[in-house]
Amino acid sequence: FILNTIMPKRSSKNDVLVIGLAVMGANLARNVARRGYRVAVYNRSVEKTDELLALLAEKETSDPERTNITGFPDLKEAIASLAEPKKVILMVKAGETVDKVSAQVLPLLKAGDILVDGGNSHFADTERRVKSADPVLFVGCGISGGELGALNGPSIMPGGRTEAWTSLQDMLEAIAARPEMKADDADVPCVSWVGDGGAGHFVKMVHNGIEYGDMQLIAEATAILTHAGVSNIADIFDTYNKGVLSSYLIQITSEILRHEDYPKVLDTAGQKGTGRWTAVAALEQGMPLTLIGEAVFARCLSAMKDERVRAAEVYAGPKAPAAPDNLVKLVEDAMFASKIISYAQGFVLMRAAAKEHKWDLDYAAIARMWRGGCIIRSTFLNDITRVFAAKPDLENLILDETFFAPALRSASAGWRALAAYAVTAGIPIPAISSALAYFDGYRIAAGSASMIQAQRDYFGAHTYERVDKPRGEFFHTNWTGLGGNISSSTYNV
């Protein structure tokens, strides 16, 4: 262990301990140190600690990363070095590892000390840990932005024991990103207390689900443009990035398209599970999170590469129609309208979960902290922030007449034309088409579900409500004349 050879011994207490020195943990520790806080670091395998300290030894002796970080080979010594209330941040793999490390740390803390899980934990696990850690204050903290975000300023979504916020606020605000997309309040840090229990990790989970959706929309857009033989797609995305689609993901898409290695990338997309968690949560809440769900399923389908190759030998695609002259604009309209639907669905899911878990979520604050540092940062989030600040109880973003409803009306014709072209050409567009289906389903006062409910009453006597009677009154019809008038109990899952 090389601590004593490159780091000066200090008598003053450390402000925080970071446990777990893979790239995210090491970079977060450096970020905290650069803001003037004294940081203790510990890793189960000493080699990771040595790697970080060796890196810091190459910096100037006055560099705050070098002077403010102290490595420890022993966990008890690391925790003993902390000022009170002791603050410990876990940057370890989500799941069982968090529980194992927490079990080592909690006996070394006392009431009022703070244990933060900065990984991608499932919100239900965080709910459990908040309760089991008591009287230690447990915080589940979503951190988005990848390794560069951790180093330079991520989007941070903390939730759990509210009492911990007063001790964490200054530090988390110091290390958080600032909005990058032409925000009026550019100095506001991209962090805010989210809520009790697993609220922070739930919001991070929805963020990741929206990320899946954004990426799928971009993938479909590039597929359409490529299929149509458009040659300057990178330049087109540069143009998109100057308009309503301005975002980090649009920006990096143009960079990827210009890279010589992009044509070598196999069309199979991996996933770590947070998008799937979001889709499952939507099913549990009974919320139609259709675009994100299709984005998850699209990754699952992409993984079936060998089967798809065999299917391509069985089925020839349709003869491609001529691409519309305004295809580039149609793609922009379809991406933007679908993006609105995706975010609207995500916020509806958070509202439903907040009601069930009794979280007091601030939707303007959530949009505000996604404007910098994180993967989904975009100019678009300024509009969401503004709308929810003015109308915190708005039930769905697409009902907002100040921005989103006019935007959807403006993009609607292009959205439909693009979907029609893609379907006719045999180009799969699960995200764009599911968003359009949701929009049409939502905006129609009388839909097709009357047939479903009549069928349910026919074969299962599940009853139905009537258009000429008040809501909440249920009726049964003896459709065949043989089933009698006895109905089953009425319930909705």
pLDDT-derived band at 37 (thresholds 50, 70, 90) equals very high
**Fold entry, domain 204-443:** N-(1-d-carboxylethyl)-l-norvaline Dehydrogenase; domain 2 (1.10.1040)
Instruction: State pTM to two decimals.
Output: 0.92
Q: Region 476-485: what's the mean pLDDT?
A: 83
Residue 457 CA to chain centroid, in angstroms? Answer: 39
Active-site residue list: 204, 211
User: Contact 310/415 with Cβ under 8 angstroms?
Assistant: no
Q: With pLDDT > 70 as the criterion, what percentage of the chain qualifies?
A: 94
7 assigned to a ligand binding site? no
Task: Please indicate if the annotation marks 9 as binding a ligand.
Answer: no
pLDDT band at 1 (very low <50, low <70, confident <90, very high): very low
Q: Is-contact 48 26, C-beta < 8 A?
A: yes
Does 24 count as an annotated binding residue? Answer: yes
Fold of 448-492: 1.20.5
Indicate if the pLDDT at residue 228 is higher than 60.
yes
Q: Residue 8 — pLDDT band, cuts 50, 70, 90?
A: very low
Question: Across all residues in the chain, what is the average pLDDT?
Answer: 93
Is 176 part of any known ligand binding site?
A: no
| pLDDT attached to residue 274 | 81
| Cβ partners under 8 Å of residue 465, min gap 6 | 453, 471, 472, 473, 474, 475
Sign of CA dihedral 366, 372, 375, 380: positive
Per-residue confidence (pLDDT) for residue 486, from 0 to 100: 66
Rounded distance, CA 123 to CA 138, Å? 13
Task: Tell me the residue length of the chain.
Answer: 493
pLDDT at residue 273 in the model: 75
Q: Is 25 annotated as a binding residue?
A: yes
| Of residues 369, 374, 382, the one with CA closest to residue 248 | 374
Residues 280-335: pLDDT tens digits? 999 999 999 999 999 999 999 999 999 999 999 999 999 989 999 999 999 999 99
What is the token pair recorded at 364? 């303007």
Q: Is 460 annotated as a binding residue?
A: no
Instruction: State the first-to-last Cα distance of the chain, in angstroms, to the nearest integer.
Output: 57
State both tokens at 253. Answer: 């898409």
> What average pLDDT does the segment 452-472 reach?
94
Residue 60 has pLDDT above 50, yes or no: yes
> Is 207 within any annotated ligand binding site?
yes
Q: Is 212 annotated as a binding residue?
A: yes
Q: Positive or negative, the Cα torsion across 461, 464, 469, 472?
A: positive
Return the number of other C-beta atoms located less than 10 Å from residue 348's C-beta. 19
pLDDT of residue 492: 62
Dist CA 297 CA 300 (whole Å): 5
How high is the pLDDT of residue 183? 60
d(CA 18, CA 16) in angstroms, rounded, equals: 7
Per residue in 83-120, pLDDT (tens digit) is: 999 999 999 999 999 999 999 999 999 999 999 999 99
Is 355 labeled as ligand-binding?
Answer: no
**What's the CATH number for 16-176?**
3.40.50.720
E strand spans, 84-136: 87-90, 114-117
Residues in a beta bridge with 19 = 42, 90
Half-sphere exposure of 352 (CA within 13 A, CB side): 18
The answer to the question of whether 357 is labelled as a binding residue is no
Q: Provide the β-strand partners of residue 239.
A: none
Domain ranges of the chain: 16-176, 204-443, 448-492
Q: Is the pLDDT of residue 10 over 60?
A: no
Query: What was the pLDDT predicted at 386?
Result: 96
What span, in angstroms and rounded, lies between the C-alpha atoms of 362 and 378? 19
- Residue 334 to residue 254: CA distance in whole angstroms: 18
Average pLDDT over residues 342-352: 98
